[in-house]
């Protein structure tokens, strides 16, 4: 039985609005955790990024809600609403492109810093930045063209709209995949030149990178697939609504996991340094104070250098701290 055209038009918007609100709730929880743990310690630029994304996402949810209100409440029972999509719907690709480029450029910057001694990593980071800017321009163009045609829904049937949308989504997918692959490569190289405790930390970083980095890529692929497979419908709309919220959630998940990922290991996550705190050792030493010579730094092809130093001061029974510190070159 053929699907009801009206259902294919309004159904995806309905689910998109609900999912958008749900992901906004998840984002607010992430923001709350970030404020508790990192507001006082993170760099100003990182705080500005986080709070800017929050403001944009609140605005985007308001626009999405307006679209839902116009379709499901204000024009309830009016079939012409399907031919006159609310003006707020034009902001959806624009906001999604802007949010995506902010998060993608952050990870490109992280790749650039971590790949200090890796020319390939830095080249890939630059390519990712170019792809991020390209997808943002395509998203802005898509929204601007739609507005210039006075929100005429026939725009979605034109070759021009399909070309712009394909450029937007393909660049998004390729950028997300390259960012994930680059970070995994950098951490893997660093792991091959590290001690066991640091290797365990890097393993967790690799797993987290794959888990969070591929989420946006998968939904971008689904968005592109539904856009091409079901032309003339709005089946791709929920994925656009979701993507706009996934990017800041992925960024906050990476930032908030800095204290959790290694339990007693801490990654200072703007991607600039890694430090590890290994368990303290206790021993009975005579009353004396001694300092061992500094060991390292040990060279690493992963753009991360390791320095190990020990210092012990004892009087009868005292704990002897043993610290391992990994510093970026």
Q: What is the pLDDT of residues 172-203, one digit of tens each?
A: 999 999 998 888 888 787 777 665 566 667 76
Residue 65: is it exposed, middle or buried by C-beta count within 10 angstroms (0-12/13-18/19+)? middle
Least confident of 18-27, 133-142, 295-304, 316-325: 316-325
Cα dihedral 209, 121, 172, 63, rounded to 10, equals 70
Specify the pLDDT at position 25: 95
Return the closest-CA partner of residue 248 out of 40, 15, 16, 59.
Answer: 59
Question: What's the pLDDT at 2?
Answer: 53
Q: Is the dihedral of CA 93, 99, 102, 106 positive or negative?
A: negative
Q: Name the token pair of 164.
A: 């712009």
CB neighbourhood size of 263 (10 A):
11
Residue 66 scores a pLDDT above 80 = yes
pLDDT digits (tens, 9 = 90+) for 21-54: 999 999 999 999 999 999 888 899 999 999 999 9
> Which comes out higher in pLDDT, residue 314 or 250?
250
- Look up the pTM and report it: 0.74
The tens digit of pLDDT for each residue in 262-279 reads 444 444 334 434 444 333
Question: Sorting pLDDT into bands at 50, 70 and 90, what band is 156?
Answer: confident
In this prediction, residue 196 carries a pLDDT of 59
Higher pLDDT, 326 or 116: 116
* Cα distance between residue 204 and residue 184, in whole Å: 11
Q: What's the chain's average pLDDT?
A: 75
Higher pLDDT, 300 or 35: 35
- The answer to whether the beta carbons of residues 236 and 230 sit under 8 Å apart is yes
pLDDT of residue 64: 92
| pLDDT at residue 316 in the model | 35
Tokens 């209100």, residue located: 69
pLDDT at position 94 over 50: yes
Question: Residue 146's pLDDT is what?
Answer: 82
Supply the pLDDT for residue 57: 95
pLDDT of amino acid 115: 74
Is cis: bond before 297, omega within 30 of 0?
A: yes
Three-class DSSP labels, the chain: CCCCHHHHHHHHHHHHHHHHHHHHHHHHHHHHHHHHHHCCCCCHHHHHHHHHHHHHHHHHHHHHHHHHHHHHHHCCCCHHHHHCCCHHHHHHHHHHHHHHHHHHHHHHHHHHHHCCCCHHHHHHHHHHHHHHHHHHHHHHHHHHHHHHCCCCHHHHHCHHHHHHHHHHHHHHHHHHHHHHHHHHHHHHHHHHCCCHHHHHHHHHHHHHHHHHHHHHHHHHHHHHHHHHHCCCCCCCHHHHHHHHHHHHHHHHHHHHCCCCCECCEEEECCCCEEEECCCCEEEECCCEEEECCCEEEECCCCCEEEEEEEEEEECCEEEECEEEEEEEC
The whole-number average pLDDT for the span 240-255 is: 92
More confidently predicted of 126 and 304: 126
Asked whether 253 and 30 are in contact (CB, 8 A), the reply is yes
Tokens of 146: 């739609």
């Amino acid at each position: 039985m053929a699907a009801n055209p009206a259902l294919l038009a309004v159904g995806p918007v309905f689910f998109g609005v609900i999912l958008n609100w749900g992901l906004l709730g998840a984002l607010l929880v992430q923001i709350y955790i970030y404020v508790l743990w990192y507001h006082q310690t993170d760099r100003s630029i990182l705080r500005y990024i986080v709070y800017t994304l929050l403001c944009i996402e609140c605005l985007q949810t308001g626009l999405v809600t307006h679209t839902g209100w116009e379709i499901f409440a204000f024009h309830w029972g009016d079939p012409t609403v399907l031919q006159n999509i609310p003006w707020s719907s034009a902001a959806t690709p624009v906001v999604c492109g802007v949010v995506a480029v902010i998060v993608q450029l952050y990870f490109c910057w992280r790749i650039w810093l971590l790949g200090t001694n890796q020319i390939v990593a830095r080249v890939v980071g630059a390519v990712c930045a170019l792809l991020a800017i390209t997808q943002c321009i395509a998203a802005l163009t898509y929204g601007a063209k739609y507005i210039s045609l006075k929100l005429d829904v026939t725009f979605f049937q034109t070759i021009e709209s399909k070309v712009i949308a394909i450029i937007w989504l393909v660049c998004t997918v390729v950028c997300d995949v390259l960012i994930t692959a680059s970070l995994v490569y950098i951490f893997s190289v660093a792991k091959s030149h590290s001690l066991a405790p640091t290797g365990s930390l890097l393993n967790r970083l690799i797993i987290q990178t794959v888990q969070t980095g591929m989420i946006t890529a998968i939904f971008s692929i689904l968005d592109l697939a539904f856009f091409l497979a079901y032309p003339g419908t709005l089946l791709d709309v929920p994925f656009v609504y979701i993507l706009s919220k996934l990017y800041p959630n992925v960024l906050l998940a990476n930032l908030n996991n800095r204290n959790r990922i290694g339990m007693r290991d801490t990654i200072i996550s703007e991607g600039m340094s890694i430090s590890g705190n290994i368990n303290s050792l206790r021993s009975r030493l005579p009353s004396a104070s001694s300092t061992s010579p500094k060991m390292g730094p040990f060279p690493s092809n992963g753009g991360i250098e390791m320095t190990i130093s020990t210092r012990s001061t004892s009087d009868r029974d005292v704990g002897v701290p043993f610290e391992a510190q990994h510093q970026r070159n």
